[in-house]
Structure 1
């Protein structure tokens, strides 16, 4: 087994390798004067079970091209099996045609990974479950919920907890959290006005005098979260927290969360944080142990189903 990484999130890759009991392999990644990516794998990977760690985070185009070129280099270096490890699968928000003349980029990225030579995909909390079906190679889809649930269970002051889905598409995720936390369930309907502005319209469920937890997979401009938090506050929620797997927060998103009723934003280190969290409570939980255990189990041909469970 060998583990390599691109430049998108070197810190996470080093933690994953350490937790897996392996050393991170040596890769030279540079740019030609015109910006093209150059990759050279310094270690011998012939016949290796190779794992390449690279979230498709900011800047996503650079991260994607680095990953594709690393996969191609590994394939031409005769690696036995190449597993692309994407803590964050970028371009997943465009997973269907919801208006004329738009792409399905989630499928495009799947095609690119397979064409480059990836034999397997390991990822966390896809934007939509059906993206797994875009691949003709095995996909191991992990969830951050066990890590986040353990964090929430340590909070003894949560009473009458209600898990809230900020849109109908996230109801299955919210139901999973509610079942693990033995909490109630609520749903918010929303109308998206633009890529960064969301209008929360209605609430289905009872949150009066309850601690609430909004769960989602991605936050960027925080329009969905801030709108949902305002609706919960107006409906009498006692406290409001948010748990989001992938934090792609921009400055506008930080301003919105800072001005919102959200007391704590819980997220993971699937992508590096680009902004300061001054003015609100930000908790970052690490995926390194989860991904390291998955890598070791895949290498040993063991089941990864146990990683879906929450330890009591």
Structure 2
């Protein structure tokens, strides 16, 4: 087997701009020009996906950059078919870089006769020949255990901490971190510890999926600059309602930091018209034109984080070192 001289990146159609950004950052880090492997990923008239790799990948350490965001099924199939193409082309190792892991919200059986789709997707990924997964802010940490291969789960929390300390530098003492539900307390507490801020919780009760019956703020938010922290914002109904309730309880202003901006349906319009002063998301999912045009939505780049994580995996060094904001600060120098 030939010795691998450098990592090789390949991308599907889900988030090409992020893939190109990762390639640029790796070029900067290494002083060696890194380009995406020349690939054709297209669809036949009946919707079937076809992949052709135009470069030799025999014995190479391959990284497929492909979030499984909307359309989740198409992007997932692209990932699986690309992996199969690389395996049949004798790639040495294939790592799936999945900035946003679709189907993660179906991580357990909530009632009788329902699937655990996250486990099914994990089985499909392993069966396609992928030997390692790199992702960010899994909706449920136990999903790592669904895989029989190594899974590196990065966190947006250090990135958010850096941004908050810059954006709110003159009023950090007034900042309070808010968990929009009881299930997200651990995530919110982690960020609160990083910036030494107090924590409050919005307790919500649902009558049925997609409908919120009641919301209550647990904690004193009066006069505070509140920052809601969550991993996913889909239709933004819960987020905007939580912001309203927090303002009704006396907060001076409300901002939100969300790892994955799914922002489907009326989400962007809701956010634009909401009481939130700003919503900060990452580019784990490619932002739509309406998202980019929204006056109160800002996108943080994850390319420096993923580029360094890929290099650490390739070099066989620690990925968990990137959980520390002090390690990320030099990587993001000039961005914040």
TM class, shorter-length: over 0.9
Aligned-pair CA distance for 1:107 = 0.8
Aligned-pair CA distance for 1:11 = 0.7
TM-score (norm 1): 0.96
TM-score (norm 2): 0.90
Aligned-pair CA distance for 1:197 = 3.1
Match of 1:270 among 275, 279, 284: 284
In structure 2, runs of 5+ residues without a counterpart are 1-6, 28-33, 330-336
Aligned-pair CA distance for 1:195 = 4.2
* Cα distance in structure 2, aligned partners of 1:292 and 1:198: 39
Aligned-pair CA distance for 1:34 = 1.2
- Report Cα offsets for 1:149-192 as digits up to 9, x if no partner: 11111122434211010011111100011001110001111123
* Cα distance in structure 1, aligned partners of 2:213 and 2:294: 24
Q: Decide whether the 8 Å contact of 2:14 with 2:69 is kept in 1.
A: yes
- Report Cα offsets for 1:247-289 as digits up to 9, x if no partner: 0112411222223211100111001112414554111000000
1:212 aligns with 2:218: no
* Cα distance in structure 2, aligned partners of 1:76 and 1:232: 54
1:184 aligns with 2:198: yes
Pair 208,179 (structure 1): closer, same or farther in 2 beyond 3 Å? same
1:5 aligns with 2:11: yes
**Structure 1 or 2: larger helix share?**
2
1:142 aligns with 2:157: no
SS of the residue aligned with 1:57?
coil
Matches within 5 A, 1:53-64: 53-64=65-76
Pair 43,195 (structure 1): closer, same or farther in 2 beyond 3 Å? farther
1:112 aligns with 2:127: no
* Cα distance in structure 2, aligned partners of 1:38 and 1:273: 25
Across the aligned residues of Structure 1 and Structure 2, the Cα RMSD in angstroms comes to 1.4
1:239 aligns with 2:253: yes
1:302 aligns with 2:317: yes
Aligned-pair CA distance for 1:198 = 2.9
1:79 aligns with 2:91: yes
SS of the residue aligned with 1:94?
coil
* Cα distance in structure 2, aligned partners of 1:195 and 1:301: 43
1:35 aligns with 2:47: yes
SS of the residue aligned with 2:290?
coil
* Cα distance in structure 2, aligned partners of 1:102 and 1:260: 34
Aligned-pair CA distance for 1:194 = 4.5
SS of the residue aligned with 1:24?
coil
SS of the residue aligned with 2:325?
coil
Match of 1:14 among 3, 10, 20: 20
* Cα distance in structure 2, aligned partners of 1:216 and 1:29: 33
Pair 199,221 (structure 1): closer, same or farther in 2 beyond 3 Å? farther
What does residue 82 of structure 2 align with?
Answer: 70
